[in-house]
Structure 1
Amino acid sequence: MHQFLSEAAQVFMDDVGGAARDFQWAIALLVRGDVRNFASGSARAREIDALQSLFEDGPARAAVASSEFVHIPDTALDGRWSGYSAAVASQGVGSVLSVPMIVEWDVRAALTLYRTSAHAFTARM
């Protein structure tokens, strides 16, 4: 499963030109209510993604719970998860996009994309 999810994330990143756009990616699993980093495209992405486990709520958890995309256009202005947003902003992250991953094995996971600039996933990019 680890290899499958990592390869799926990498194919997606290749398709959207993620490396050229300087996107960082990580996959988080929701296990017994805890968010845990499962795979990432780099050590930096793993560090950033690990910050979600410090908070009771955040974009990956919300994406898994709602089965919908969760978008933080500007971490400096986000009010939904102020602690989480401040933590990732202090690491140089300007915008976040969490995408729920639906897989056959009843795995609860989200692929989260990070970018240094705000509005990286909007028309204002």
Structure 2
Amino acid sequence: MTVKYTPDHEWINIDGNSATVGITHHAQDALGDVVFVDLPEVGKAYAAKDAAAVVESVKAAADVYMPANGTVTEVNEELRADPSLANSDPLGAGWFFRMTLDNPAELDGMMDETSYTAFAAEAH
């Protein structure tokens, strides 16, 4: 499995043609306490950069973008029931959705952890 990062502060954990998507530590820090998530529709196909979900905090609301072309296969119902998981475990239990990738090679140009860490540090 490979984890990549987007400039919009999503992470994507890639396993073949499947992937899990969530928000990064930087994103949840910037948002503050997450109080609501609007998750995408299972079975719906999205294009890369489409707004697939929404995360709302006490400070702001932000879109969670589709990192690549694909179809949502599962949403995190535990996150819907307890949005604070996006704060307490954003890279684990706080994942947003799983998807099937139309073309995994689309993700080749995304940032790895080292590149993203440098990017996020500049974003402060």
Structure 1 length normalisation: TM-score? 0.30
**Which is richer in helix?**
1
**Which is richer in strand?**
2
Structure 2 length normalisation: TM-score? 0.30
